[in-house]
Structure 1
């Protein structure tokens, strides 16, 4: 990540605040259920959702790169999270990241089409039916967004990672009803255990403890349901 700014050390600005920040970061970074890659993704997602694109964003990106997360991984995260946080917010992250333009293959025409030549929607039928009840055009928007995020290969996020990132967006925006339930289910289907989902909430507490509090109430109810617990079993 490049920058032309010379940022003062946090300890120079406020040594007590720096001490509080370091203690908090050390506590949540020690959460064992999440990988360094997942912690980077959750941190950058929080930065984008909360428009925190200053020194914290830079520190999170640099920490990820130091832990072996590639620039391609971070770019893929920003592309993916734009679905839920909005393209305007994700675009600010793409601009701020300051990395060289990637050598990426463009998406296939059928993935960006909304006409008769479009690829089938990858949305689960139950989810698509629920969205279609709200508005047909909105359902078409969901289809398009889902088609553009169907890749699973080098430089893409795993289903577990997508689920943990998506449910974290819900925590930041406090959308803790249907979408939160769907995203928790996605993480479980991707191989995350209920304890892994709880670990994501523990990690997100650093980005707003009151938001995490409300999310805990929602996720404990979701995970207590037998249908949700069965979603974590391999299929």
Structure 2
């Protein structure tokens, strides 16, 4: 069984809670239909959504690195998530990553937007009929992100689905990200495992997400 980072620190806080927390953590890390990288990204994304930038983030960064996630991939995850969780929280998150000793960014190349296609382009077209200004901003933000290196499209979609579950944006946003995940290799069992793993971060949110995604 995977040894969860920070278990000793949790025991020092409260030994009974530590047992409960470690059990919940093993639920996520034991899921078969998510990669180890995806599980790490789920935890690191959840830390931004609540936000949990102290001990939980330190534990999850340690777990990510221990499971082979490159520091630049952690940075790219947080770059990707800025417009989904809000730029201000990412300022604090990057500051915290520096405090935790994450190496400096290797990727310093200028951001080159890529034209949107598929569901992302369709979203922008739909928004144009609602608010052209919002559509233009959305297109700019998405075009700067989804084709960048360091993360796959599936990993980006799973991170965005994590935001949807924890923010309870269970309509068009969740359907978009589920479609992107499925188009890049995710199955229903992948998405079911994602929601099962996210139950650690709030059972009622997971219940609502499961009902929205799988109830016909």
TM exceeds 0.5?
yes
1:128 to partner: Cα distance = 1.3
SS in 1 for 2:151: coil
Structure with greater Cα Rg: 1
1:194 to 168, 188, 192: 188
Contact residue 25 and residue 206 of structure 1 kept, 8 A: yes
Q: 1:132 to 1:19 in 2, by over 3 A?
A: same
2:108 to 96, 105, 110: 105
Matching residue of 2:166: 172
Specify every segment of 5 or more residues in structure 2 that has no aligned partner in the other structure, as ranges.
Answer: 1-7
The equivalences for 1:14-29 within 5 A come to 14-29=14-29
Matching residue of 1:228: none
The equivalences for 1:9-158 within 5 A come to 9-98=9-98, 99-108=102-111, 111=113, 120-122=115-117, 124-153=120-149, 156-158=150-152
Q: Deviations over 1:145-202 (max 9, x none)?
A: 112114343xx21111111111110001001011111111110011101110111111
SS in 1 for 2:129: helix
1:100 to partner: Cα distance = 3.4
- Hey, what's the Cα distance between the residues in 1 that align with 2:31 and 2:146? 30
Query: After the TM superposition, which of the residue ranges 91-100 and 182-191 deviates more from structure 2?
Result: 91-100
Query: After the TM superposition, which of the residue ranges 78-87 and 93-102 deviates more from structure 2?
Result: 93-102
TM-score scaled by length of structure 1: 0.82
SS in 1 for 2:27: helix
Contact residue 72 and residue 107 of structure 2 kept, 8 A: no
Q: 1:27 to 1:193 in 2, by over 3 A?
A: same
1:15 to partner: Cα distance = 0.7
User: When the two structures are aligned, how many residues end up with a matched partner?
Assistant: 205
SS in 2 for 1:72: helix
Query: What RMSD over aligned residues (CA atoms) do the two structures have, in Å?
Result: 1.7
Greater relative CO, 1 or 2 (CA 8 Å, sep 6+): 2
SS in 2 for 1:9: helix
Specify every segment of 5 or more residues in structure 1 that has no aligned partner in the other structure, as ranges.
Answer: 1-7, 112-118, 225-235
TM-score scaled by length of structure 2: 0.89
1:121 to partner: Cα distance = 4.2
Contact residue 172 and residue 211 of structure 1 kept, 8 A: yes
Matching residue of 1:114: none
Contact residue 107 and residue 148 of structure 1 kept, 8 A: no
